[in-house]
Each structure stands twice: as C-alpha cells, then as structure tokens.
Structure 1
Amino acid sequence: MAPPPGEGQPKGPGLFMSFVVPMIFVGLIFYFVLIKPQKKQHQEVQKMRDNLEEGANIITTGGIHGTVKKVKDDIVTLQIADNVRIKINRSSIGKIKE
C-alpha cells in the first residue's frame, strides 16, 4: 500500500536547499576553472595587440609570418616577403615572435 501523499518526502526549505547549495558550488567551480582563466588570457592577448610596434615579427592567426611595417587604428600593414605587403586586422595577430 502506498503512503499517503506528502508522507516520506522532505518538507520545507530542506528540499530547496539540497538543490540550490550544490548548484551554487558547481557554478563557482565552473567560474574559477573555465571562465576566469579564459578572461585573463583574453586580456593578455588584447594587451599584446594594443602594444604592437613597427618592426615586430608576428604570426597571424592564419599562420602567416611577417614584420609589422605600419600600424593605423585597427589595420596593420605586414611585410611577408621582399616588396610584398598585406593589410590585416589587428585582431588577426596571434602572437609576437621573440
């Protein structure tokens, strides 16, 4: 025979708290493991792009190697070979070679 409705089930805030507390804990872990490191990396890349100078050797996100010849707003003129220059967006710069 089944128990009457409501018997044997948690009552009051116990059910709510048993669900909310673990969800908050999972959310905090998610933030500190995934979101915060990605945000830090994005800030470092943005700082690198903002401090770009003429003469820097770079690699684009597409894998093109070249030397920065001119920086104007969001457009960077890149020399990839003798007498060969291309214009790229600043956001296309992947990293600066040392």
Structure 2
Amino acid sequence: MEDILQVLQTSWPILLMVVIFYFLLWRPQKKQQKERANLLGSLKKGQKIVTIGGIYGEIVELDDEKVKVQVSEKVELTFARSAIANVLSKKNKEEK
C-alpha cells in the first residue's frame, strides 16, 4: 500500500503536465484542424477567397484537389485546394 502511495506522490507532476498539455496545446490544435477541414470542404464556385500567398480572387472552378481562381479579367490561376487561407464574407466585400 505504501508503494502505491509513493508512486502516486512521485508521478502526479507528470500527470498534471499531461493534462495541461492536452488542454493548452493538443485540443485547440485539433479544433483548428477541424475548422480548416470544414472551410476547405465548403468551398463553392463564385466565392471570394484569399490564398495563403495573399492572392485575392473568385473561385471559377474546383474539384477535390485543385481550385481555379480568377484574379482579374482574363487571368485565372490554379491552386491546390489546401492553398486557400480564407473565404471572404459579405462584410469583408462591403469594406473594400
């Protein structure tokens, strides 16, 4: 019985660090990954977007892996779907 108590007394700091690690690092990162997957999965033709390189444009064509973005008249660029950083909302469009 004393051995078990001693093990618990020496290992509680490690258990505390694991719990802190979970709540401060792992859980928020998983939430962010889920939000990103939802963003990339909900892309639609006609949406205004920003790429991770800072290029603004409108989606004109998309498939599972690629997105064709019109950046100006007669200029269309093809990106990997994962290169989309953000979808601009109507509020962002009105501010410009």
- Which of 18, 22, 38 is the matching residue for 2:9? 18
Alignment of 1:31-50 (within 5 A): 31-50=22-41
TM-score, normalised by the number of residues in structure 2: 0.84
* 1:66 positional shift: 0.5
TM-score, normalised by the number of residues in structure 1: 0.82
Amino acid at match of 1:35: W
Answer yes or no: is 1:60 the counterpart of 2:36. no
Amino acid at match of 1:77: K
Larger radius of gyration: 1
* 1:19 positional shift: 2.8
- Which of 14, 17, 21 is the matching residue for 1:30? 21
Unmatched segments (≥5 aa) in structure 1: 1-10
CA RMSD of aligned residues (A): 1.4
Instruction: Give aligned-pair identity as a percent.
Output: 31
Larger % of helix: which? 2
* 1:34 positional shift: 1.1
* 1:96 positional shift: 0.2
